[in-house]
Amino acid sequence: MSKLADVARVIERAQRVLICGHVTPDGDSLGSTLALGLTLEQLGKTVTLAGPDPVPEIYKFLPGVERFVTGPPPDGKFDTFIVLDCSTPERLGEGYRDLLHRDMVTVNIDHHIGSADFGEYRYVDPHAAAVGEIVFDLFGLMGVKISPEAAICLYIAIITDTGSFQYDNTTPGTHRRVAKLLEIGIPATPANIRVYEEKPRAFLRLLGAALNTLSESPCGRVCWMTITRDIILNAGAEDEHAEGLVNYTRRIKGVEVGLLFRETAAGSYKISFRSKYFVDVNKLAAIFGGGGHLRAAGCVIQGDLNKIRKEVVAAAIRATGGNNH
Ligand code: 5GP
Ligand code: MN
């Protein structure tokens, strides 16, 4: 693994930079990408920000977001490819992971446990609550002043990946960095309102429909919800409105593992895993080919919903130390 200082030197030398986050981008992926992009541009570099999937509506207020190129990888000659918040090359998405084999310097900055070994320069810190924290430190090592625009992007990266400082990935260092961002004078409250308090009505309809599917294991330690294509369609919702819904599954007293089964396309299911105190959901998701963090992870499985649900719920119950009852 590279030192973050070496990554800083490589980035300083870059001229034409492509920066990408992961598929179905979240606040950390977008916020880190934008903060780095805006700052490198300020240093006179030519920057392209790209990804396969559209930017969710709730993040469209972020400075520079209109610069995102979505869809297939953009044409252009880049000397440096920076990958943020991707635990595997696959998380870059179709078409994008092939860019790792092009003739350019590749830099991988991530914070997932067991993050795959890829990229010529690779810096992974599983103790970082968000990639936004690492990008913040990178700016320090580069000696660049963080603009208010980049600061708000880093702030969103950190609050979304820590559940607004609720999750146990939150450290004193998280608060110290955020204190520095607040000192820059960012509009933190309006930003929180944009992300959490301006949902479309379809979001609440989807939440209602999802809550109607809430099921609990007899032991009470595992709880899950299911969102099919029909449910999304009937709610008049979009896939992006499912972000965060999984958290409702662990809100009940006694529940250790919460699961959300979401049909992404016919026969294809995205499963989100969350835990509260002790289950390592990174390991649990890994049984099904996924991964993530200790208390938040995900995977994608193809097949029959009932069969998938049965297997995943049974594995979750086992992980809580119970049997299937
Ligand atoms: P979410 O459930 O919010 O989509 O994702 C939670 C965490 O699990 C994130 O840190 C994300 O990186 C990881 N994750 C989500 N889906 C997948 C997946 O399909 N594969 C892997 N390896 N990780 C995932
Ligand atoms: Mn992240």
Distance 162 CA to ligand 2 centre (A): 9
Distance 145 CA to ligand 1 centre (A): 32
Summarised one tens digit per residue, pLDDT across range 58-116 is 999 999 999 999 999 999 899 999 999 999 999 999 899 999 999 999 999 999 999 99
The whole-model pTM stands at 0.94
Phi and psi at 285, nearest 5°, equal -65, -30
Task: Note the pLDDT of residue 323.
Answer: 66
**Rounded CA separation 189/55 (Å):** 21
88 in ligand 1 pocket by Cβ < 6 Å?
A: yes
Task: Classify residue 286 as exposed, middle or buried by CB count within 10 Å of its CB (0-12, 13-18, 19+).
Answer: middle
Distance of CA 67 to the CA centre of its chain: 19
Distance of CA 268 to the CA centre of its chain: 20
**Counting ligands in written order, which one lies closest to the CA of residue 91?**
1
Summarised one tens digit per residue, pLDDT across range 169-189 is 999 999 999 999 999 999 999
**Counting ligands in written order, which one lies closest to the CA of residue 281?**
1
**Rounded CA separation 171/56 (Å):** 28
Task: Note the pLDDT of residue 324.
Answer: 53
Q: Where are the chain's structural domains?
A: 4-196, 202-320
Strand pairing category for 215-216 and 222-227: antiparallel
299 in ligand 1 pocket by Cβ < 6 Å?
A: yes
Distance 156 CA to ligand 2 centre (A): 11
Contact 59, 65 (CB under 8 A): yes
**Counting ligands in written order, which one lies closest to the CA of residue 293?**
1
CA of 26, closest atom in ligand 1: 3
258 in ligand 1 pocket by Cβ < 6 Å?
A: no
Task: Note the pLDDT of residue 34.
Answer: 98
Q: Which two tokens stand for residue 110?
A: 């991530």
Distance 267 CA to ligand 2 centre (A): 27
Task: Note the pLDDT of residue 322.
Answer: 78
Distance 112 CA to ligand 1 centre (A): 9
What is the residue with the minimal CA distance to atom 24 of ligand 1?
Answer: 298
Distance 136 CA to ligand 1 centre (A): 22
For the domain spanning 4-196, the CATH number is 3.90.1640.10
Name the percent of the chain lying above pLDDT 70: 99
- Segment 131-148 shows an average pLDDT of 98
Give long-range contacts, CB 8 A cutoff, 24+ apart: 115-118: 115/87, 115/88, 116/87, 116/88, 116/89, 118/88, 118/89
* Best of 94, 272, 288, 301 for a ligand 1 pocket test (most atoms within 8 Å of beta carbon): 272
Summarised one tens digit per residue, pLDDT across range 233-266 is 999 999 999 999 999 999 999 999 999 999 999 9
For the domain spanning 202-320, the CATH number is 3.10.310.30
